[in-house]
Amino acid sequence: MSRIGKTPVDVPSDVNISVEEQRIIIKGKLGQLEARLDDSVNVVVDDGKVSVTPANDSKAARSMWGTLRSIISNMVKGVTDGFDIRLVINGVGYKAAIKGKHLVLSLGYSHDVIYAIPEGVTMKCEKPTLLVISGADKQLIGQIAGEIIKLRPVEPYKGKGIYIEGSYIRRKEGKKK
């Protein structure tokens, strides 16, 4: 039995939830999110709570039960509070800047890397070496952060590169004489 799936999701009063056919639509002050529902799971909205139950006793239904409850919970949190990821840019001459709808990264290449900021996402450079990505969709924020990190991943000898603030960076010892 899923311990996560058993607990209903509390919905604040300023959030509207509607279940239509195989979709759930959640509207809040930070926007609107929607997700596709699986056939093996039933979703019931009542009295400011969303309950998720498996439709049958199959393994697929039981595995989707907790997953869908977590997705709905993240969507509710996203439209009320939002999510943000802080990226640290470490290296001599490495920096970021926002120019219009584009993120311009100087990462030690012969040219600047230009990354288009998608709709529904806001980026802010608190310092030239600290980038904050925020928005309502947790999956989209994580995907964008991963794409930016792939532009210059952290190398283990000097620690130069882009990484999520507070994450562990594995360091190696260099050559010895």
List CB contacts of 165: < 8 A, sequence separation 6 or more.
86, 87, 88, 130
- How many Cβ atoms are within 10 Å of 84's Cβ, its own excluded? 14
For residue 111, give Cα distances in angstroms to 16, 93, 100, 149: 46, 13, 19, 17
- How many Cβ atoms are within 10 Å of 115's Cβ, its own excluded? 15
Provide DSSP, 102-161. EEEEE-SSSS-EEEEPPTTEEEEEEETTEEEEEES-HHHHHHHHHHHHHHSBPPTTT--E
Indicate the pTM of the whole model: 0.88
pLDDT tens-place values along the chain, 177 residues long = 668 888 999 999 999 999 988 899 999 999 999 999 988 899 999 888 999 999 898 888 888 998 999 999 999 999 999 999 999 999 999 999 999 999 999 999 999 999 999 998 999 999 999 999 999 999 999 999 999 999 999 999 999 999 999 999 999 998 888
Contact (CB, 8 A) for 50 and 17:
yes
CA R_g for the chain? 21
Domains for the chain: give ranges and CATH numbers.
3-80 (3.90.930.12), 83-164 (3.90.930.12)
